[in-house]
Amino acid sequence: MTRDIEQFAQLGIGEALTNALLEYGIGKPSPIQAEAIPYILEGRDVLAQSQTGTGKTLAYLLPLLQRIDPDKKESQVLVIAPTQELAMQIVREGEKYGEPLGVSTIGLIGGASAARQVEKLRHRPHLVVGTPGRLRELLSTRKLKLHEARTVVLDEADQIFQLGGADDIRALLKGSLRDRQLIFLSATLGPDVRALADREMRDPADVGIEPEQKLAKTTQHLYFVCEERDRIDILRRVVRHYNPQRAIVFVNQANTIAEVEAKLNHLGLAARTLYGDADKVTRATVLSQFRSGKFRLLVATDVAARGLDIPGLELVVHLDPATDSEHYVHRAGRTGRMGRKGLSVSIVTDRQEFIMRKFSRELETKIEPRTLYDGAVLTPAEAEERRSGAARRTPKKSAGTSPAGRSEAGASPAPQGGASDSDAASSARGESPQRSAAPGRTNPGKPAASAGRGSKGGKKQPNKDKGAPKWLKDKRSSQDPS
């Protein structure tokens, strides 16, 4: 039924919004938008599952903004999001598209001044977006009243469910109108959320764009095996090789995050951190600086895994492997959004390699091993060939090495194809907030550190590549005659 829908207007979206969309370069609805918008306009309850980065936000915001009566001073729509960052991202979209309609928006998130939020609430903003904790707080003190809320949206519903459980969600819903419209969305809607939907929704429209396909098809998934102590070095080489404009580096534990940040900065890779326990202002500043390109690597816990839409994010690195395939989906889902190319790289020890096979199986997606060898990213077979080539004493790097590594890796995110992979050139880019830094510039950061660890000057002699994983070095030294 959606196949021949070409325009938002045909879905029932009015001119004020279609004009606003065009202003932001959005002309055609995405499949999930084409499916969900008519139901949401009708007032139906909706369960929507589609891959990360497929436009779920506008799938609910557009029809809901349109249904808001701006003349009534009532909070008519409530959107619940699991993290401050995601809530604020939704607020910004709400403001962008609500403004031409005369719709007002408020963000209710933890860490920020409750008093100011309460003051703003007095004006009864039409669209309320918040995190569960702050919403609960304001509801329990009756500062926020939902008796006029006609619609409640749970964005990343399964995550909200995991945070507080069904009772928590029910408590949040209690204040809203009895016949309110309820909308749940995620790339991963498990049985728990579906059971809750069964209980709370009336005859929901279950819209899904290939719900079994959870990962964006435009993202390539690779992993590199190394010794535990070489993780950071592999990360450094992956970043140097792919040279992304921006990348998120996911870690599993907040207590080591500062150390990772320090090491990366020490290596000349501009990095900052985002994690749940940091204060709200820091979190907001870091994220906005990341969006605007002030630094290149965001080292984050899974708090950054849900829903964030960051332009130009070409690479996601799992410095620690994701805890399960669902977490993997959301982390990897920060890249490869809305048809763009993306690359998801996991760094694992040999004992963690099975996790990659497990995710691969569960997600029905190829997650392929790669090896960093002599500045190139190779498949195991290519690496083997290269090694035996080296053994036959042909140390000269073939002309195709780097480009082959890149095209073979497919999703080479940085289109600076011709750029050499040399440490000096790419560290200049890593240091600079602008990517157009002179490629010849030397690393003003810690030249000693990166020269000492890098493969500079050692490119033609693989055994000098000190950053190589130990198992690779061992293999090499047993084969390399030099």
Q: Are the beta carbons of 331 and 50 closer than 8 angstroms?
A: no
**Which helix or strand (DSSP H or E) is residue 345 part of?**
strand 342-348
Residue 309 carries which side chain, given as an amino acid letter? D
From the list 305-313, 363-371, 373-381, 445-453, the region that binds Mg ion by CB under 5 A is 305-313
Residue with tokens 């506008």: 58
Indicate the residue among 39 and 223 with the shorter CB distance to ligand ADP.
39
- Does position 55 interact with ligand ADP (CB under 6 A)? The reply is yes
Of 28 and 466, CB closest to ligand ADP: 28
342 touches Mg ion (CB under 5 A): no
Cβ nearer to ligand ADP, comparing 59 with 238:
59
- Eight-state DSSP code of residue 254: G
Helix (H, G, I), strand (E, B) or coil at 7: coil
Among residues 150, 130, 151, 197, which one has the least CA distance to residue 170? Answer: 197
CA angle 439, 442, 444 (to 5 degrees): 125
Q: Which does 338 bind (CB under 5 to 8 A by kind): ligand ADP, Mg ion, none?
A: ligand ADP
Nearer to Mg ion, 307 or 342 (CB): 307
Q: Which is nearer to Mg ion, 337 or 406 (CB)?
A: 337
Residue among 31, 38, 307, 333 that touches Mg ion (CB under 5 A): 307
Please check whether residue 306 is in contact with residue 83, taking contact to mean a CB–CB distance below 8 angstroms: yes
Residue 101 DSSP code: G
The distance of closest approach from Cβ of residue 11 to ligand ADP in the complex, given in angstroms and rounded to an integer, is 11
Q: Binding to ligand ADP by residue 338, rule CB under 6 A?
A: yes
Q: In one letter, which amino acid is 440?
A: G
If binding is defined by CB under 6 A, does position 335 make contact with ligand ADP? no
- Applying the rule CB under 6 A, the residues between 354 and 393 that interact with ligand ADP are none
Tokens of 370: 């790669």
- Asked if 91 and 126 count as a contact pair (C-beta separation under 8 A), the reply is no
Residues 56 to 95 in contact with Mg ion, rule: CB under 5 A: 56
Q: Nearer to Mg ion by C-beta: 61 or 411?
A: 61
- Beta-sheet pairing, 271-274 with 297-300: parallel
Contact partner, 26, from Mg ion, ligand ADP, none, Cβ < 5-8 Å per class: ligand ADP
Q: In the complex with Mg ion, which residue's Cβ is closer, 56 or 370?
A: 56
Restricting to residues 14-53, name those near ligand ADP by CB under 6 A: 26, 28-30, 33, 52-53
* Helices and strands in the chain, H and E counts: 19, 15
Which of 5, 20, 47, 58 contacts ligand ADP by CB under 6 A? Answer: 58
Q: Which amino acid is at 2?
A: T
Residue 72: contacted member of ligand ADP, Mg ion, none (CB under 5 to 8 Å, by partner type): none
Rounded to the nearest 5°, which phi and psi values hold at 224? -120, 135
Between residue 434 and residue 463, which ones bind ligand ADP under the rule CB under 6 A? none
Sign of the dihedral through C-alpha 233, 413, 356, 309: positive
Q: For residue 32, is it left (φ>0), alpha (ψ between -120 and 50) or beta?
A: alpha
| CB 268 within 8 Å of CB 235 | no
Among 214, 296, 327, 337, indicate the residue that binds ligand ADP (CB under 6 A): 337
In one letter, which amino acid is 180? R
* Residue 52 partner contact from ligand ADP, Mg ion, none using kind-dependent CB cut-offs of 5 to 8 Å: ligand ADP
Q: How many residues bind ligand ADP (CB under 6 A)?
A: 16
Using the minimum distance from each CB to ligand ADP, give the nearer residue, 18 or 461. 18
Helices (H), ranges, 43-83? 56-67
Query: Which residue, 381, 333, 358, is CA-closest to 54?
Result: 333
* 309 is a site residue for ligand ADP (CB under 6 A): yes
If one asks whether residue 150 binds Mg ion (CB under 5 A), the answer comes out as no
Smallest gap from Cβ 61 to ligand ADP, in A, equals: 8
Task: Report the nearest approach of Mg ion to the CB of residue 246 (Å).
Answer: 19
Residue 159 interacts with ligand ADP (CB under 6 A): yes or no: no
Residue ranges binding Mg ion (CB under 5 A) = 56, 307
Residue ranges binding ligand ADP (CB under 6 A) = 26, 28-30, 33, 52-58, 307, 309, 337-338
